[in-house]
Every structure is written in structure tokens, then in C-alpha cells.
Amino acid sequence: MTATLAEAARRRTFAVIAHPDAGKSTLTEALALHAHMISEAGAVHGKAGRKSTVSDWMEMEKERGISVASSALQFEYAPESHEGEPFVINLVDTPGHADFSEDTYRVLSAVDAAVMLIDAAKGLEPQTLKLFRVCKARGLPIVTVINKWDRIGREPLELVDEIVTEIDLQPTPLYWPVGDAGDFRGLARVNGDGEVDHYVHFVRTAGGSTIAPEEHFSPTEAAEKEGDAWETAVEEAELLAADGAVHDQALFEQCVTSPIIFASAMLNFGVHQILDTLCAIAPAPEGREADPAAVEASTSAMDANRPLDSDFSGVVFKVQAGMDRNHRDTLAFMRVVSGEFDRGMQVTHAQSGRSFSTKYALTVFGRSRDTVETAYPGDIIGLVNAGALAPGDTIYAGKKVQFPPMPQFAPEHFRTLRAKSLGKYKQFRKGLDQLDAEGVVQILRNDTRGDAVPVMAAVGPMQFEVMQARMELEYNVETVTEAIPYSVARRTDEASAPELGRQRGVEIFTRSDGELIALFGDKWKLAFVEKEHPELTMEPLVAD
């Protein structure tokens, strides 16, 4: 086995996804705590003592207590029973709010598995359902974590039934709760035969800010200690096993089943069991297929796929500026797909054909940064001031490769944006170009409105708030927005644009990537134009 394959085998790269307020950022902190990356979790009980989590670095995130941007963390972790080198965990915390689902979807293209967090009291919520379906559609293996079991919630079997019914995904218990929701005593471990073979009892710590001590018992000792609560847990786990809900690695990797663990991220109960599970069963990185369209269009030899141990290649899934006020730089978050990355190496940008040096490469933990000298498949690193890179771009060394582009999502909300002061126009344009490149919003322009008053297109209205907040914070430009009367966008072409532009309630724009976008007042207006002019191009802007 080559050094690259050996390093890739110990990588585990996954995203934490869920509905807002399910506890994603709290779990991220708890996982980092158990890996001894931090000494105290960022979220503690009580409003007066509450700290913002390390992964939430944006002021808006700290003020509202929600994540509005993805954050990548890397650390080493060795399960107690593990022999040899520790695993390298690449963990991506994502926005839960539906307004930022495009950012979440990009992250899902850069990871090998997902941890789906479900609130014990609320069960499957709309955003949870949506993300589950995206993971299943992409064949992304899912580990389900029922969070907040320390609070009053629903019955565990009821939650399992809901998952089976709503998304046709069979949860398979690995750690089943002992004690009802709100009376979380510990976890019953379920082995590969569906039998309960061990009990982990948790001891609370002050505010849940440190690792919760564990006490371990045999099934006989657990029955004596916990009585009916233990018997109930064993009966429920055995009932599911009798129904065929037993972990099968192949079915898990095919996204047919989902190992399920009960936890309390706030109290640090069940957290290291989540990490141990990911190390044991989450897929290691694999090679990736190239974009068939790029291969077909290429005039020179291009790889149709990229094995792990071939030349270096990577795909950018996010571009972010403003993470560090002291540096005022831009980070392009890249997933290493193949080969070995060495800081300073010359790479080629597949989309432009230009070469550049990777002199400044970092791992990012919240606002803290560490220089990366070497990275391997599965690792997520930040390339500093790689201004030419955009989400979905490929960089490579050696033989050319280009991976499939990331789809842009159909916007449903549109507002104009302008600087309050004409004297700030230069800064306004700079900020606009940068935040557009990051994908904070899509920027649309036309000659009628001019460059000074572009139109922002977004999946959700909170993206506009982020845009304005970052323009003011990072570029010192106060802005004003105004709603415009459109709610539907379609892609069109040069042949169709003139006639579409003559229709009442339709306006034509050019997006930053050169695409022509037609905005319609509503779906009824779109239907009318489609009926009257079936020859015109009006294609949906919908992700695969």
C-alpha cells in the first residue's frame, strides 16, 4: 500500500446536517472536546454564561445563535480500542437554516458521510427531511443521532417509525437509550447480532462543558443498577433486531440503513460513541469520476477518473472572505480528491488553464489557523487568496482532470442593492464581486438598472441580511435594499432574450457567470409566456 493510500484509509470526512436549532454547532464543539482539541465546550447552560461556539465565527451567528456559513474543522482521534495511528477527522458544520441550503448542498459534495441530527422532541422537521433526501439521492451514508435526549421528548420507537415511514431509511441501533427522554442515564450497546452486550452510564459535569465521565457495566450489572429502565431498553433494541434492524455495512454504505445513536451534545453524553462509530464504519475517501462533458470537450488527454494514489487533484466547495479581520484575505475551501498535496506546489486551475502556487495553505478551526504542509485525500484545507477559484472548480497537478461543476440553485427572492453613499462605490464594487464569487447571493445585472444597482437573487431572504452585514463589516459600506416584483427565475439564451424582454412582467439579466436569466412576476406569468411562446428557451434553474 502506498503512503497516499495508507493516509487516505485513516481519513473520515463528514458533514453535520440538520434542521435549525437541532444542536449542530454544539455537537461540533463536543466532538472537538472529546478529541482534546479544546478544553471546554463553547456552549454552556444559562444565558448569562453562554459562549458562542468555536465554529460560529461570524458576528450574526454569535448574536442569533445559529450557523449561517459552513465551518471546516480537522483533528486527530483514536478510539480506546484502536491500535496504530489515530484517525484524521475532517468535520464540516453546516448551516441548518433553509435559506442557506445551497451552502449545505455544496458541502455534501465534498464529504464521504453525513451525521444527521434530529431533535428528540421534534423528530423529522422540514429541513431535516429535505437533507435526508438529498443524502439518499447522492448515495451518501448517514449516521443518525437523536440529540437532546436529556430533555423531554418522544418515544424512541416512535422516532424510528417516523424515519422509516417518512424517508424509507431503516435505522439500526448501535447505542440505545437507557431512560426516557428527559431521564438520560446512559446507553445500551448493541452488537452486530442485534444483542445488547454492554452498558455505558454517564455522569453529569457542571454545565456539560467538559467530557462526561463514563461508568461501564455488564448487562447483569446494568439490570441491577437501572432496573426497569434497562429492561425496557433491552426489549426495544431486541424488538428492532427481530424486525431485521441490525447494522449491515453494505446496506449502510448504500444508504439503505442508518446506524442510530442517542445523545445529548449539550451534556457531552454519547459523543465519543459517535466518534467511535464514524471511525469504525464511515467510508474512507475514494477516487472520483471526472466531468463527462469536460472530458468529451477536451482537445487533449484528460483523466476520466482520478484514483486516490494518482497525481494531486482537489475540488473547491466553498470560498469565504472575512474570517479574520487581521488578514482580510479570502479562503477557498478545497477537498483533496487524489494524490498528495504539498504546500507551495504548482497546480493548474482546470477551468482557466492557469497555473498558480499554493504558498499559503491552512487548516481552519473557527477563527484559528494552522499552516498545512501536507494533505491527503479526504482532507479539507483552505487556500489563501486564491481569488480566481469558485465553488465547483478543480485544481490539479500532472495529467489534467476536471470534476463535475456544482449546481447553482433556483433563487426565489430578489432585491436590489445599492451603496448609501456614492463615495463608497469603489468599495461597494469590490465587496459585491467578492461576495458574489463566494456564492453568498447570485448577482444579476442589466443595462437598464446599471452597475450601481444590481439585483441580488437568493434561495432565502436571510441571505440578503448576511450580504448587507458583511458589506458593512468587511468593506465599510452601508447598503440599502429594495424588493422587486419577481419570484420566478429561468435560464434563457440570446435568441430568446429579446422577445422575453418585451413581455410585460418579465425582465432579462446577465448573471456573473455569463448566463442569461429571465425573471417573471410569478408562476402564472411564466405559464402564460410558455403557452404563448413555446419556441422560447425558459429552462429551470434547479439543482440535480
93 is in an annotated binding site: yes
Q: Examine the domain organization and report whether 230 and 302 are in the same domain.
A: no
pLDDT of 9: 96
Q: How confident is the model at residue 252 (pLDDT cuts 50, 70, 90)?
A: very high
CATH of the domain at 349: 2.40.30.10
Distances (CA, A) of 185 to 41, 174, 188, 270, 289: 21, 16, 10, 11, 46
Q: Is residue 196 part of a domain?
A: yes
Average pLDDT over all residues of the chain: 86
Q: How confident is the model at residue 41 (pLDDT cuts 50, 70, 90)?
A: low
Q: How far apart are CA 265 and CA 457, in angstroms?
A: 36
Domain that holds residue 515: 413-540
Q: Examine the domain organization and report whether 202 and 69 are in the same domain.
A: yes
499-511 mean pLDDT: 95
Q: Examine the domain organization and report whether 91 and 186 are in the same domain.
A: yes
What type of residue sits at position 260? I
Q: Examine the domain organization and report whether 388 and 417 are in the same domain.
A: no
- More confident position, 80 or 495: 495
Q: Examine the domain organization and report whether 18 and 64 are in the same domain.
A: yes
pLDDT of 391: 85
Question: Domain boundary residue among 238, 262, 281?
Answer: 281
Q: Is residue 405 part of a domain?
A: no
Convert the pLDDT of each residue in 185-219 to its tens digit: 999 999 989 999 999 999 998 877 788 899 999 99
Q: How far apart are CA 248 and CA 246, in angstroms?
A: 6
Question: Which neighbouring-strand residues pair with 288?
Answer: 306
210 is in an annotated binding site: no
97 is in an annotated binding site: yes
- Burial class, 292, CB count within 10 angstroms (exposed 0-12 / middle 13-18 / buried 19+): exposed
Q: How far apart are CA 399 and CA 298, in angstroms?
A: 12
Highest-scoring range by mean pLDDT, 249-263, 328-342, 370-384: 249-263
450 is in an annotated binding site: no
pLDDT of 132: 77
H or E element that contains 319: strand 313-321
Q: Provide the sign of the torsion angle of the four alpha carbons 214, 25, 410, 516, taken in this order.
A: negative
CB-CB contact of 53 with 68 (8 Å): no
Q: Is residue 439 part of a domain?
A: yes
Q: Examine the domain organization and report whether 390 and 423 are in the same domain.
A: no
- Burial class, 352, CB count within 10 angstroms (exposed 0-12 / middle 13-18 / buried 19+): exposed
**Comparing 55-59, 157-161, 473-477, which segment has the lowest mean pLDDT?**
55-59
Is the pLDDT at 530 greater than 90? The verdict is: yes
What is the distance, to the nearest Å, from the Cα of residue 424 to the centroid of all Cα atoms in its chain? 34
Distances (CA, A) of 501 to 157, 183, 508, 515: 56, 63, 6, 15
pLDDT of 325: 54
pLDDT of 97: 45
pLDDT of 61: 46
Question: Domain boundary residue among 396, 430, 459?
Answer: 396
- Helices 271-281 and 24-34: crossing angle, nearest 10°? 80
Q: Examine the domain organization and report whether 274 and 141 are in the same domain.
A: yes
Question: Domain boundary residue among 237, 257, 281?
Answer: 281
- The total number of structural domains in the chain stands at 3
pLDDT of 46: 36
Convert the pLDDT of each residue in 278-329 to its tens digit: 999 999 999 999 988 888 888 677 888 899 999 999 999 887 765 555 555 6
CB-CB contact of 367 with 57 (8 Å): yes
DSSP string across 452-472: TS-EEEESSTHHHHHHHHHHH
Q: Is residue 401 part of a domain?
A: no
Question: Which neighbouring-strand residues pair with 483?
Answer: 415
Q: Is residue 408 part of a domain?
A: no
Q: Examine the domain organization and report whether 266 and 294 are in the same domain.
A: no
**Comparing 70-84, 490-504, 511-525, which segment has the lowest mean pLDDT?**
70-84
pLDDT of 128: 74
Enumerate the H helices of 440-520 as residue ranges: 462-475, 497-501
Q: Examine the domain organization and report whether 16 and 56 are in the same domain.
A: yes
CATH of the domain at 457: 3.30.70.3280
CATH of the domain at 252: 3.40.50.300
Q: How far apart are CA 428 and CA 422, in angstroms?
A: 9
pTM of the predicted model as reported, rounded to 2 decimal places = 0.79
**Comparing 224-228, 461-465, 481-485, which segment has the lowest mean pLDDT?**
461-465
SS3 of residue 515 by DSSP: coil
- More confident position, 196 or 362: 196
Q: Examine the domain organization and report whether 107 and 147 are in the same domain.
A: yes
pLDDT of 319: 78
Q: Is residue 312 part of a domain?
A: yes
Q: Examine the domain organization and report whether 157 and 207 are in the same domain.
A: yes
pLDDT of 329: 64
- Pick from 452, 446, 386, 441: which is nearest to 417 by CA? 452
Q: Examine the domain organization and report whether 366 and 432 are in the same domain.
A: no
What is the distance, to the nearest Å, from the Cα of residue 452 to the centroid of all Cα atoms in its chain? 33
pLDDT of 320: 74
pLDDT of 101: 56
Whole-number percent of the chain with pLDDT over 70? 88
Convert the pLDDT of each residue in 88-121 to its tens digit: 999 887 664 454 456 777 788 889 999 999 999 9
Q: Is residue 404 part of a domain?
A: no
Alpha-carbon dihedral angle through residues 451, 453, 456, 461, given to the nearest 10 degrees: 160
Q: Is residue 241 part of a domain?
A: yes
List CB contacts of 230: < 8 A, sequence separation 6 or more.
178, 188, 199, 219, 222, 223
95 is in an annotated binding site: yes
